[in-house]
Structure 1
Amino acid sequence: MKQTAIDALKRLRSFKIKSSVWDDLPYTRRAAVLVTLFRNSGGDLGSILTIRASSLSTFSGQAALPGGKADDINETTYQVARRETHEEIGLTSDDDALRSQGYAMDYLTTLPAYMSRNLLAVQPSIAYLRPINAPSIDDICSEHYNNRIFPHDFYSSFNHKTDLPGIIDSHAFSDSTEVQEVFSVPVNKFLYDNPKYYTGKPVDWGGLTWNQHWFKVIRRHKAIGEVGWLSVWGLTANILVDTAIIGYDQQPAMPHRQKGQFGDEEILRALHELGKLPEERNKKADLNIQFKEVFGKDSPLLSLRSM
């Protein structure tokens, strides 16, 4: 594994948040996603993403991190993320069962909550997926770790056509009603603005402004006649840009947010305190919210998502 990838894992492991509004919201307003990192065939950190099934009522056909809504008030962010990842792409949430398949999942950290277009608090957990014979995150973070050579069969654990861990390819995710494709992207890609693969512009949602990102990802496995690239944008892109910023300790080349500003905790907290995130959801009201009216046209909350 490249030293930059090792350092990124260490930084992510050390990243902590004090608390989150996610824990104070009704469970109907809670969602979680899993940023599953792994050593890809180039020795960098890859992240597993999905294309949502066209049959879904929300965000169909879009690139997304595996995840979904909480089932009850007692589920933690990480439990929701692992359960949904299992349901979507077959990557079991049972650590013992995962080890029996030759892999382990090392928890790294949880990011602040982000606000989705339908006013859910989406909190990302980040974990490191590895073959069980590869160094764990505890090994990597130890003072005696020297990036020793990985076992030979570690390299054969990848599908080099898709650049996904073999365990993902071995599961029939086609049985899922939520996912139509699984793919991977190098995490450090989300720090750069190569015009061949990136476009961005400021956007406005009810008076709330932020920099929107669109990243083109080459499609490594496609049928004849299918489009040759996939688009990662919106909330998914924002989470991955922030993951890259924290991991690689590097600001992105494109306009993003104020340095050190991750997630939408302050906005979500304000909405919660104003009674705008009740347990019973009103989809039409959520989608048509006017933040200028809710917060006031001069509120500093309106610019928290921009630079």
Structure 2
Amino acid sequence: MIVDQIARREAYEEIGLPMDDARIPKPFRIEQLCYLPPSLARTHLVVTPCVAFLHADRTSPDSPPALVEDSMMPRLDAREVAAVFSAPFYNFLKATDLPPRPGETLPPGHWYDGAWTNYKGEQWRVHNFYVPVNNQRVSRPRRGSAAQIELADQLEVSQDHEGRFKVWGLTGRVLVDAARIAYDEEPEMEHNLDFGDLKVIKIAQDEGALDESHENSPPVKRDEDKPAKM
């Protein structure tokens, strides 16, 4: 489907994940799971999240499966992505950090804060997550060009606490929605009951804000929208 193709193309352009399954290193494979209802970015770009699972099959019954973060090195586009890191998916339903694994520690700072905002007349919950990265390898673009250096500096600014990266905005909202579906569990923090932004999208459409020729439409991407990827 066209949504799958767009999602795979974006993943290839941003982190170098091959678009062709045959080019994904063995024993890894991509399992497409579902689509989430569309959301609306602040740039008036309608986003339909495509959820997939990148994992490895066991090479033998006695061997543990290979871990993506240990075996696959992403190739980052510095114009698009500041860093790639991992976060415990279940934690996006929780208001505090999950207990660390044996031998690991949590960095200073808190896991979550949030607030309600008005988005085109609708109440919209802003989720701010501060993901611990002190116990993992974080992939960053090579600091070769001025653009890459600038993006890396922006990432450092987004670290509210040493050892944590901030995940917020549309990304935070999509992760909460995906975790609600995956675990069939409601989050501890306040949240929008609806999945996605269908109401807000309808309002934006009625306003003409989704028309690319609309004179008040913001640009599709701005420097401050450059994300870190999980």
* TM-score, shorter chain, exceeding 0.5: yes
Paired position in structure 1 for 2:107: none
Match of 1:201 in 2: 115
1:153–1:266 CA distance, 2 compared to 1 (3 A): same
Name the aligned partner's letter for residue 254 of structure 1: M
Q: Secondary structure at the match of 1:189?
A: helix
**How does 1:128-143 map onto structure 2 within 5 Å?**
128-133=53-58
Superposed CA deviations along residues 37-76 of structure 1, whole A, max 9, x for unmatched, are xxxxxxxxxxxxxxxxxxxxxxxxxxxxxxxxxxxxxx82
- 1:206, CA displacement in angstroms? 4.8
* Residue identity opposite 1:110 in structure 2: Y
Contact in 2 for aligned 1:214/1:231 (Cα 8 Å): yes
Matching residue of 1:84: 10
Does the CA-based 8 Å contact 2:55-2:67 persist in structure 1? Answer: no
Distance 1:151 1:119, change over 3 A: farther
Task: Give secondary structure in 1 for the equivalent of 2:87.
Answer: strand
- 2:39 is matched by which residue type in structure 1? Y
Residue 249 of structure 1: aligned partner: 184
CA offset digits 1:18-45 (Å, max 9, x no partner): xxxxxxxxxxxxxxxxxxxxxxxxxxxx
Contact 2:32 2:53 in 1 (8 A): yes
**RMSD of the TM alignment (CA)?**
2.7
Between 123-132 and 107-116, report the one with greater CA deviation. Answer: 123-132
Cα shift at 1:191: 0.4
Structure 2 match to 1:184: 86
**Do the aligned partners of 2:122 and 2:200 also contact (CA within 8 Å) in 1?**
no
Alignment of 1:11-90 (within 5 A): 76-90=2-16
Q: Which residue is 2:23 aligned to?
A: 97
TM-score (normalised: structure 2): 0.70
Tell me which amino acid in the other structure corresponds to 1:89: I
Report the CA distance between 1:88 and its aligned residue.
1.1
Instruction: Tell me the CA shift for residue 132 of structure 1.
Output: 4.1
1:172 maps to what in 2? 75
Give the whole-Å Cα distance in 1 for the aligned partners of 2:190 and 2:78.
36
Following the alignment from structure 1 to structure 2, what is the Cα–Cα distance between the partners of residues 77 and 243? 17
Post-superposition Cα deviations, 1:104-148, rounded to whole Å, max 9, x if no partner, equal 1111000110011111101100011122447xxxxxxxxxxxxxx
Q: Which one of 196, 207, 218 corresponds to residue 263 of structure 1?
A: 196
Identity %: 32
| CA pair 206-275 structure 1, distance change in 2 beyond 3 A | closer
Structure 1 spans left out of the alignment, 5+ residues:
1-74, 135-148, 288-307
Q: Kindly indicate whether residue 213 of structure 2 is the aligned counterpart of residue 280 of structure 1.
A: yes
Distance 1:110 1:277, change over 3 A: same
Q: How many residues align?
A: 184
Residue aligning to 1:144: none
Q: 1:108 aligns with which of 33, 37, 46?
A: 33
Q: Is the 8 A contact 1:87 1:176 kept in 2?
A: no
Paired residue for 2:63, among 140, 152, 161? 152
Aligned residues of 1:108 and 1:127 also touching (Cα < 8 A): yes
Offset at residue 214 of structure 1 (A): 0.8
Larger % of strand: which?
1
Q: State the alpha-carbon separation in 2 of the partners of residues 150 and 192 from structure 1.
A: 34
1:202 Cα deviation after fit: 1.3
Contact 1:86–1:92 under 8 Å retained in 2 = yes
Which of 214, 226, 238 does residue 173 from structure 2 map onto?
Answer: 238
In structure 2, do the counterparts of structure 1 residues 125 and 165 end up closer, same or farther at CA, with 3 Å as the change threshold? farther
